[in-house]
Amino acid sequence: DVATRATSKISFRDVQEKFNVWVAFLNFEHDHGDEASFQRVFNSAIRANDPKKVYLQLIEIYSRHDQAEDVLSTFKTMHKKFNTSAKVWLSSLKFHMAAGDAPTARQLLSRSMQSLPKHKHVKVLTKFALMQYEFNEKEHGRTVFEQLVATYPKKMDLWNVYLDREIKYGAQDSTRLLFERALSLSLSAKKMKALFKKYLTYEIDHGTDASVAHVQGLAAAYVEASA
């Protein structure tokens, strides 16, 4: 077809540049061609590029044009073709959250856990928890984070992401309780120092002289106990 012949004659500097040209062809055919010509370019794009990237681009095109049914049918195909891809499942989860369909998103999350390799579970669960906060489902976000920190109590990156979300979206009392819980863990001196610094910064920004003094007192007691 025209797109294949045109791209075969261009010398691309890298894979991304080539992909960008195919995306331009896809957008053009979607806006100016018919369904058959769009499908032809899509099929050619899959053969010439990373298929998963092309499918994700197709989702973007359909989403921009409010073609919800096409998005859903495409995701259905992608869940079979790329069932071990965290990026595909996260894209699907975000679509449903943005559409206000949190229950379906949570059902999909369960399905994703059955399909994804275990080393990708924490990544997907963390990103899904973040989405919950963004789309006004804070309690569900907290539930996911609580499961994560219960399973991996010493993974400071999880605590930090959880704390950042609470600082941004949570109440001050619940945020302080979370800091206190994190400080009660048996962590390395380096991690404790970073945690105290984060807590102190929070109180300087949001608290009172008394709450700042409280954190400073906790830090001093920790240093003394560690000496």
By the 10 Å C-beta count (0-12 exposed, 13-18 middle, 19+ buried), 227 is classed as exposed
Position 189 in a domain: no
* pLDDT attached to residue 16: 78
Range of the domain at 23: 1-82
| pTM reported for the whole predicted model | 0.88
Position 149 in a domain: no
Position 42 in a domain: yes
d(CA 46, CA 199): 49
In our burial notation (b when 16+ CB lie closer than 10 A, e otherwise), range 145-179 reads beebbeeeeeebebbebbbebbbebbeeeebbebb
d(CA 165, CA 132): 10
Position 223 in a domain: no
Q: Which residues of the chain have pLDDT under 50?
A: none
For 4-59, what is each residue's pLDDT tens digit? 655 665 655 667 788 888 999 999 999 999 999 999 999 999 998 999 999 999 99
Position 73 in a domain: yes
* pLDDT attached to residue 12: 57
Position 50 in a domain: yes
Residue type, 98: A
Position 188 in a domain: no
Position 151 in a domain: no
How large is the C-alpha radius of gyration of the chain? Answer: 24
> Apex CA 158: angle with CA 167 and CA 208, to 5°?
25
* pLDDT attached to residue 106: 96
Count structural domains, the chain.
1
